[in-house]
Amino acid sequence: MLMTLYVKALSFLTTLKNDERGVTAIEYGLIAVAMAVLLSAVLVFGEGNMLGELQQAFDAISGDINTTTGLTAP
C-alpha cells in the first residue's frame, strides 16, 4: 500500500514537472514586461529626453492652433 502511494506520487510529480502548458504565455509575458521597462527607461532617461521633446512639440502645435483660431490656452 505504501509502495503504491509512493509510485502514484512519483508519477504525478513527474507528469507535473514535464507539463509545459502555459510556458509560452509566461515567456511572452516576461518579454513584454522587459520591453515595457526598457521603453519607459529610454523615454524618460534617454538622451534628449524624448518626453520633454514631445511636450515641446505639442506645446508648439497648441500655440499654432491658438494663434490661428484666436483662442487662448486655459
Selected residue with higher pLDDT from 73 and 31: 31
pLDDT of res. 74: 61
**What is the tens place of the pLDDT at every residue in 35-63?**
999 988 887 787 777 777 888 999 999 98
Selected residue with higher pLDDT from 26 and 35: 35
pLDDT of res. 68: 87
Q: What is the DSSP letter of 46?
A: S
Is pTM, for the whole model, over 0.85? no
Task: Report the C-alpha dihedral over residues 31, 53, 44, 26, rounded to 10 degrees.
Answer: -10
Q: How far is the C-alpha of 13 from the C-alpha of 68, rounded, in Å? A: 72
Q: Which residues of 6-34 are buried (b: 16+ CB within 10 A; e: fewer)?
A: eeeeeeeeeeeeeeeeeeeeeeeeeeeee
